[in-house]
Amino acid sequence: MTQEMTDLLIRLRSFRDARNWQKFHSSKNLAISVSVEASELLELFQWELESGSTNSQLKTRVEDEAADVFLYLLMLCDKLGVDLIQAANNKIDTNEIRFPVSRSYGIPK
């Protein structure tokens, strides 16, 4: 884990512990919270036109919701002892094998 991620995790644990919230942070509750926050992120785009244009207000809202998803996911991984950076790298390694460029280039499957 990078120093930046470690520092963020320490800050997040401190925030949680100062409020005595750890007792509410079961794996189930954290996983549910990841899904709820991801749905709130998705909701920002529910009626967006296909143009893909963004404005600064939307960007700010996306930052807030994306941070919520990230923080809950980080707490879930911390609880389960998952190194999120390593897991992400492992997933990319797996996907490089599953989806070689020669068979996947330009195909959205």
CATH number of 3-104: 1.10.287.1080
∠ CA(8), CA(12), CA(13), 5° rounding?
120
In the chain, what are the domain boundaries? 3-104
What pTM was estimated for this model as a whole?
Answer: 0.88
Stretches in the chain below the pLDDT threshold 50:
none
Q: Given this model, what pLDDT does residue 16 score?
A: 98
